[in-house]
Amino acid sequence: MHRQPCLDLLCPFLEHIIVDRQLARRSARREKGAEVGIVMLTLAQCMSLSLLYVASQSVHVPKIGVASARGAAASSRRPASFVPWRSLPTSLDHSSARQLASRQQQATMHQRATEPQSDTNVVVAYVTTPNSDVAKGIASNLLKHKLVACCNILPAVRSMYFWDGEVKDDPEELMLIKTHKSLAKKVSDAIVRLHPYEVPEVIFAPIVEGHPAYLSWVADETHDKTAHMDQVDEAIRTMPHLGEDGKELPEVDALSTEKPHVDLKSNGMVVVKMKSNPTTGYTWEVSESADCVSVVKQGFMRPSSKLMGASGVQEYVIKAAKPGDCAYTFSDVKHLGNGQKEVGKTARVTFTVEG
């Protein structure tokens, strides 16, 4: 008989004896006259302990973890990795010790795998759209660039809200979008660009628990994008602006040689673009507005090159307000401070809105 296998088995065996004894004592408190059972169980365990001690040929036994045994005994149920002393092999050969250790390891791994995840890296976004066409357009662009893993579209949502000092009551579609939490800001930027609303609803909420396999799938599908944020920004810049029909909006270059003119139907929209160079301090501003159209969104598309002097594109999304003819004038302005500014180029776009 070898000494080392005996020691490998002795320490966990002592822990299981203490756990069994604590559990038996706890159970005995509920039954009258069970003290005799506790004494007999203790004697039997002590005899087994003596046999193991003799077999180890007086080799020093390390101190066992009594605290861990107490923690297990205090539980209302035995842990999945618990192995009762009655199931221990009678033979103390090396292969039996390895088998017992393997059983305990497999039981522990199974318990961890089946436990629900309480802290995840997955979030869900709530987004409302005017119709299913817009919802599908947003979902397609987000999925195309792998910014999200899944988009659900729920029809027939009724929304009541304040807007322009009035209570609105509109039918809408609700989108549930799942992605990695590190991409939440980028997904929000993409939705704002794609959405036809001036102020779209984009709300993120954490997922506390869920099916582990599903949450892992969402994280795996989107997490690789977090290491390439420059590519994500470039993908967002190339996304189109969508109209309320879900189609890509037409674009007009305000700096074209010809005088740009746009014909719009009721509630029609168009994107007015102007080349800009923010490193010079100049940005495009509306210097003369019109009443037949209104600016819904505006922003600057950063250039892909980070070199000084690289040009980008400044955009204005304009929507028809009422029938008539009107014009928008844009000026390239540099603010000098103290209310003073320097005006560079100007661009004028005329509009005709049908009745």
Q: What angle do CA 345, 349, 353 make, to 5 degrees?
A: 165
Task: Read off the pTM.
Answer: 0.64
Q: Which pLDDT value is given to residue 276?
A: 83
What is the predicted pLDDT for the residue at 59? 45
State the CATH class of domain 251-353: mainly beta
- Positions in the chain short of pLDDT 70: 1-98, 100, 108-119, 224-227, 257, 302-310
For the chain, what are the domain ranges? 3-114, 122-237, 251-353
Q: Residue 18 has what pLDDT?
A: 58
The amino acid sitting at 310 is A
| Predicted local confidence at residue 65, as pLDDT | 46
**For residue 186, what pLDDT is reported?**
94
**Residue given tokens 């759209």 in the structure block:** 129
Determine the Cα angle at 268 with ends 323 and 186, to 5°. 140
Start-to-end CA span in the chain (Å): 101
Q: What is the pLDDT of residue 313?
A: 87
Tokens for 28, please give them: 């005995």
H or E stretch at 237: helix 229-237
What's CA 126's distance to the chain center, in Å?
Answer: 12
> What span, in angstroms and rounded, lies between the C-alpha atoms of 166 and 164?
6
pLDDT for residue 154: 96
Helix residue spans in 56-121 (DSSP H): 66-74, 94-114
The confidence score (pLDDT) of residue 280 equals: 81
pLDDT of residue 326: 93
Q: Which of 304, 305, 318, 178 is nearest to 241 (CA)?
A: 318
What's the chain's Rg over C-alpha atoms?
35
For 72-223, strand residue ranges (E) read 122-129, 150-163, 166-180, 202-206
Nearest to 254 by CA among 331, 320, 309: 331
Fold of 122-237: Alpha-Beta Plaits (3.30.70)
What three-state secondary structure class fits 342?
A: strand
Distance CA 196, CA 354 (A): 20
Going by C-alpha positions, the residue among 241, 220, 131 that lies closest to residue 178 is 220
Task: Please name the amino acid found at residue 54.
Answer: V
